[in-house]
Every structure is written in structure tokens, then in C-alpha cells.
Structure 1
Amino acid sequence: MSDQEHAHQHQSHSDIIKRLKRAEGHLRSIVGMIETGRPCVDLAQQLHAVEKAICQAKRTLIQDHIDHCLEHALAAAEQGDITALSNFKQITKYL
């Protein structure tokens, strides 16, 4: 990853990090639930909650990217640099 890609930040990134860290902790607790023999319905319910949290983090990331990067990608494309537009198009496959 280049320095430019590594430094790419949006205002929503701190919120996404918080969501993912909560999901990470939740996943660890689910592992503990499995190890202690909790019922499968409890496990499925908790896994569903983690899945929703991760999906929301992804949705926030993509929406923020669209809101902040579309204008940049179009301006770059007008200047003949299709890299930003190509990168923008690539993220849409994760919608």
C-alpha cells in the first residue's frame, strides 16, 4: 500500500473503526459462547448481530466514499487521469 493510499482518511473512518472494534469484541465473546456450549440459536442470534454491524460499517464506508470521492474521480478523469475513476468504479462491486 502506498503512502498516499495509507493516508486516505474520511471523517467517517473513526466511527467505522469504533464499529469494527465493537464487532471484534463481540466476535471474541461468541467464540467463548461456542467454547462453553451455548445453544446454537443463541450463537446464530449473536452472529447475526455481528454481521449486521459489519454490513453497516461497510455501508458507511462506501456511502462516505461516494459522497467525497466521486467529485474528485470525475475531475481527475476530465484531466485524463482515469485511475481515480477506475478506483471509484471498483468500490461499487462491494455494494
Structure 2
Amino acid sequence: MDEELLPENSGKQPVQPRTDQEKEQVLNRLKRIEGQVRGIQKMIEEDRYCVDVLVQISAINAALKKVGFSLMERHTNHCVADAIHKGNGEEAIDELMKVMQQFSKS
């Protein structure tokens, strides 16, 4: 049985809240991915060819990684940079490295 990652709440807030445009872009991407997942569900219901399903799963994985890298980039440019500027960079970099390791497992 695969282990499912549970959402972790660090209790921290972003140094600079996401703009409405940033939120909209990420949410639109996630909604697109959600639609792709529904498409795969339909493919399974229709007993579609395994390779066709696997290609779609690969596309979803790539799309999720793209969203993740986008969020990681923003976090690095705002939260980590701010922590370094304030002298707390070591902790922020350690946290970033841990999340990058976890991210790369997927």
C-alpha cells in the first residue's frame, strides 16, 4: 500500500502574500490537473488501453511538478531570501532542502 502524504501545516505565513494574479494562475493550473484526473477516471471506466492511461498519468505528474517548482521558486525568492537577509538563512535553507528532497522523491 502506498503511503499517502498528509498536508502539513507549519503555522508559518508567507513573507509576502501571494498576489491575486499568482493565486489565480496556480488555481487555474490545479483545476486543469483536476480535469485531467477526472479524464483518467473516465478512461478507466471506459476500459481504455493501458498505455493511453499511463501517458495521461505522466502528463499529470509533469504538470504537478511544474506547479511545485513554481511554488518552490516563489518560496526561495521571497521567504528564503528574506530569512537570509534577516540572518535566519540557515534554518530557511535547511527547510527548503528538506522539501526539495521530498519533492524529488515523487
Q: Are 1:90 and 2:100 an aligned pair?
A: no
Cα distance in structure 2, aligned partners of 1:40 and 1:61: 32
Q: Which 5+ residue runs of structure 2 have no aligned equivalent? A: 1-8, 101-106
Quote the offset at 1:75 in angstroms. Answer: 3.1
Counterparts of 1:21-60 in structure 2 under 5 Å? 21-60=31-70
Q: TM-score, normalised by structure 2?
A: 0.68
Contact 1:33 1:43 (8 Å CA) reproduced: yes
2:25 maps to 15
Percentage identity across aligned positions? 27
Partners of 1:8 and 1:85 lie apart in 2 by 19
Aligned residues: 89
Following superposition, the deviation at residue 88 of structure 1 comes to 4.7
**In 1: Cα distance, 2:35 partner to 2:17 partner:** 24
User: Runs of 5+ in structure 1 lacking a partner?
Assistant: none
Secondary structure of the structure 2 residue equivalent to 1:10? coil
Q: Contact conserved, 2:40 with 2:56, CA < 8 A, in 1?
A: yes
Runs (4 or more) in structure 1 with deviation over 3 Å come to none
Q: Which has the higher helix share?
A: 1
- 1:76 & 1:60 partners in 2: Cα distance? 24
TM-score (norm 1): 0.74
* 1:67 corresponding residue in structure 2: 77
Structural RMSD (CA) = 2.5
> How far, CA to CA, are the matches of 2:61 and 2:68 in structure 1?
11
Larger C-alpha radius of gyration, 1 or 2? 1
